[in-house]
Structure 1
Amino acid sequence: MAGNSDPLTPRAKLAVTAGKAVAAASRAAGRGSGSVIGGRVALKLDPDLLARLAQNLDVVLVSATNGKTTTTRLIAEALRAAGPVVSNALGANMPAGITSALAGGSDAQYGVIEVDEKYLAGVARDTDPKCIALLNLSRDQLDRAAETRMLAENWREGLAGSKAVIVANCDDPLVVWAASSSPNVVWVAAGQMWKDDAWSCPACGGVMQRPGDDWFCGECGFRRPTPSWALSGDHVLDPHGSAWPIHLQLPGRANKANAASSAAVAAVFGVPPQVALERMYQVQAVAGRYDVVQFQGRDLRLLLAKNPAGWLETFSLIDPPPTPVILSVNARSADGTDTSWLWDVDYTRLTGHPICVIGDRKLDLAVRLEVANQQFQVCDNLDQAVELCPPGRIEVIANYTAFQDLRRRVGN
């Protein structure tokens, strides 16, 4: 661990105290956790506060379009086997939220930090991470996030020559391109279900060849690196070829992939795969995702899906037809206001499920489902949708702010 026992200057201590006071006031006023506004105030008072808070921590950064909140939580659980951890577990993943989280972990040894894709390079500069996990890059918030190739370029430039161990998904060509500028990369075969953002070579623009699980560019020779860790069914294969069973309470292939990446990160800090994977079993839900809640005498499972890659993975883990499905889509600033991504989602996978549609942009979704020849009902709110659903458990899939609305309504 770097630095002295108390890295905080008087100014930094004042900034932390002021940030916590503002956050507490925000919570008392019922305006959420207060972590973002608290962090903003703290950074105004001391612009170097994030770097100061990080200097006594072994830091892990986690960035991706999909899976970063869950993977951050899994890594944090694994590293608790080695010492106290501070983490932005609620998903406030821009500099203000990250600063707020670290300010609350004065006795921690490890900082496990989820970072928004656009801010990764800057946060890496400030926190001097020991490890950075890169999971995937796909289209998301089309009005806010630059095209995925530009994000990959931003990562590639920002991480060039980084001292951190980069744990990267070798099945995503954009992630491989981004990580390849770093001298120390651990490749994980975590899989890639959604491939529609990686048909052209990020290195030269040529057409990507994708035989089986492999990929390469026929024009410049850019290709999938050989992984040292791999997800294989219900096991993680480590660099020695040993297979370790994955036991998760979280559902679906995507979470097994997150566990594989998390085990590789834990190993960087000396936590063996068996210990890391056993600890990950503790995670039941992540910020409400995957929770099963009681509402109006029914069991609702809450699932977050905010872009085409996420919807594809989510469809693969819902119960089979005729389990009813409620879909909710908003397009507020935190979601991205452009809903054209709905046309990239294959809604024919819902054939046979009774579907109810709610949310601010329910009519956009209704048009998309109509074109996909799905049977559905448009409802005013969650209560009405639940009443219209046939008996049994209900799968509820929502994008970001729609998910928060649902959690408030069901008291989660």
Structure 2
Amino acid sequence: MPDRAQQPIFNNDEIDLTELLRSLFQQKYLILAIACLVTLGACAYAFLATPHYQVQSVLRPVDRGSLDELNGTGVYELTPAEALGRVGAGLSSYENRLKFFRENQQLFTGLAEPGRSLEQVFEEFNRSAFTMLQVDPKKPNSLSEFVGVSLTYPRGVDGVAVVNGLVASVLEDERARIATDLKVLIANRLFALEQKIEAARASYEASKQAQIAGLLEQDALRRAQLQDELQALRSELKTRRENRIKSLDEAMQIAESLGIRKPTTPSAMADAQRQGQVVRTEVNSREIPLYFMGVDALKAERQALSERRSDDFSEPRIAEIEKELALLSRNRQVEVLEQRKNEDLYLKDLAQWREEAAQLKGIKFDTSTLQLVRLDQLALEPLRAVKPKKALVIGLGGVGGLMLGVFAALLRNLLRPRQTDKP
């Protein structure tokens, strides 16, 4: 019998879907067992894990009228947007949060861990729990500006008290900071006004002294000029007197040589000397020579001039000079300037500065009642925890368990040895 031709034997590595489904169905108890175990683990986590809750507080700008009294002081200017920005910066400040944490540790008792400092505990909590709420910068046309803070916290932390307390603490700190700034600004303004007043006083005193010095200098100059003029006049008068005496001496010699003892005139001498003695005097609009006064008159005048002690009476200008010198001995304007009692009355703008200082000193603004922001949403006790989300965790656990069970069944099916058909 002839050998039958050998037929090649092929291994079928293709997956038979029907056989795969049949295999999974046969291992349904394994899949269900794994799914139940995973679901039970998810349920244990959902019910045993520490629940976390979330609260938030939202702040919005106040009306401009709420800040009108502060802005009305004329010292401090604050817009609603600036006030909201300052409060938002305070809420996001790590320093403010740490300060509140230290002052209210009873609100964070659930966070305490042995071997860790307060700062370390707060650092981890601050990094994971706080979230700032603000307008999206990508949407500049938002209907209203706002800032807020959101807190996600575990059981054992009073989140509502933390958020509301933090907001109240930041508002109080901002009010105190505004009060301090207001006091500093008022003090600086008052100090600047005092400096202006002192500078004005110093300037006035310097200008007054300069004015007095100028007046005294003018008087001294005028006095020196008058004294020089007086000395020159007296010297001139003395020279005139000496010249007159010389003229009288010369006239006396002529009169003695002519034998004129008594005052006479050329015509009278002509009548007295008709017989052969003729004296001709030609007068061409000139005074009669002195020697016609006669020796006696000339001697008398010369003696009077020699015995004269002062020539001041002969010059009216000397009396005027002495009058001016007497007036210059006392400057009444200088005396009035030196006798001023309240020199502040003469300071320019002093009344305006004092009025401004009085207004600044009269500012009594109570910042404790200042409304910086409008509390749009107050933190309230949450109705449910935000994590873990039980339904989601259990649902994911069930789905994950089924998938894990199917994967285990497939893996078991692949690792099971196959049976081959024999001829």
Shorter chain as normaliser: what TM range?
Answer: under 0.3
> Higher helix fraction: Structure 1 or Structure 2?
2
TM-score for the superposition, normalised by structure 2 = 0.14
TM-score for the superposition, normalised by structure 1 = 0.14
> Higher strand fraction: Structure 1 or Structure 2?
1
User: Which one has a bigger Cα radius of gyration?
Assistant: 2
